[in-house]
């Protein structure tokens, strides 16, 4: 089966420093692929490559092959790519001056995902329902996102991403600073969403990986040192880095 996201021999230098080193990864459609690894192993950089954000850094040198939806990364128009492949960063950053509704609606409208007011309203409701936020905000859609808790803000950012109807959702430690109740809602949402979207999730929580993940990739020193179905890797870890990550728990 072809991979929806694939990197072969990917090497990234930032300011002369090797951050990703001859990395290979292949991600299948409609799965939740989890990326784990110690701090500094290159997880965020890998997501940024897939979103073509590394090009923004004039000090970045990239080599190897990256294919997204069967097309070379550098054949994609970056703006078009970022409608199909959406990155949600660790720190939730809703637009502070837009209402909750417009936070979700505006990028979708600008990208012509929905045109009429009715279409847009249905899309916003679907996106907010997808992250279990609709009931919590439906009476406050015109309020600014500053009224929301951290976990609600993170789910709002996920809804904003989903309203673009992307094929691929990249999540960089989405529950790192979030309370357990919001974490459960995010995990439940992801499990339901994988029929619609391929998810690449960076997490440092083995329990989370076990609860939601199909495949896991262990990064160390900028390369994948171990990978496989989550259950196989977690029950029979082979690499010492994996064993250490699992011992730490989460």
In the complex, least distance from residue 205 CB atom to ligand ADP, rounded to whole angstroms? 14
Which of 151, 147, 160 lies closest to 183 in space, CA to CA?
Answer: 151
Contacts with ligand ADP by CB under 6 A: the residue count is 13
Identified binder of ligand ADP from the candidate list 26, 33, 45, 198, rule CB under 6 A:
45
Beta bridge partners of 171: 88, 201
Check residue 44 for interaction with ligand ADP (CB under 6 A). yes
Check residue 53 for interaction with ligand ADP (CB under 6 A). no
Check residue 174 for interaction with ligand ADP (CB under 6 A). no
Residues in Cβ contact with 132 at an 8 Å cutoff, skipping those fewer than 6 apart: 155, 185, 188, 189
Site for Mg ion in 20-49 (CB under 5 A): 43-44
Check residue 41 for interaction with ligand ADP (CB under 6 A). yes
From Mg ion, ligand ADP, none, which one binds at residue 164 (CB under 5 to 8 Å depending on kind)? Answer: none
Q: Which is nearer to ligand ADP, 14 or 184 (CB)?
A: 14
From Mg ion, ligand ADP, none, which one binds at residue 14 (CB under 5 to 8 Å depending on kind)? Answer: ligand ADP
Identified binder of ligand ADP from the candidate list 5, 33, 37, 141, rule CB under 6 A:
37
Residue whose token pair is 């939740």: 32
Name the CA dihedral angle for 106, 107, 108, 113, rounded to a multiple of 10 degrees.
130
């Amino acid at each position: 089966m072809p991979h929806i996201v694939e990197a072969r021999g990917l090497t990234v230098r930032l300011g002369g420093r090797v951050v990703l080193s001859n990395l290979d990864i292949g991600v299948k459609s409609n799965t939740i692929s989890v990326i784990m690894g110690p701090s500094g192993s290159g997880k965020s950089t890998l997501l940024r490559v897939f979103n073509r954000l590394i090009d923004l850094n004039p000090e970045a040198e990239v080599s190897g092959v990256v294919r997204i939806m069967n097309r070379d990364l550098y054949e994609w128009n970056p703006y078009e790519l970022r409608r199909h492949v959406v990155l949600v960063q660790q720190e939730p950053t809703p637009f502070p001056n837009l209402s909750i509704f417009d936070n979700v609606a505006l990028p979708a409208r600008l990208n012509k995902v929905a045109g009429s007011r009715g279409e847009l309203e249905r899309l916003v409701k679907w996106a907010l329902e997808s992250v279990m936020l609709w009931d919590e905000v439906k009476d406050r859609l015109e309020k600014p996102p500053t009224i929301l808790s951290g976990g609600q803000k993170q789910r709002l950012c996920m809804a904003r991403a989903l309203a673009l109807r992307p094929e691929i959702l990249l999540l960089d430690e989405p529950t790192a600073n979030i309370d357990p109740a919001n974490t459960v809602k995010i995990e439940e949402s992801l499990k339901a969403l994988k029929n619609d979207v391929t998810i690449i999730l960076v997490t440092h929580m083995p329990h989370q990986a076990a609860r939601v993940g199909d495949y896991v990739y262990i990064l160390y020193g900028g390369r994948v040192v171990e990978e496989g179905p989550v259950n196989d890797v977690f029950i029979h870890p082979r690499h010492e880095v994996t064993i250490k990550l699992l011992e730490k728990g989460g």
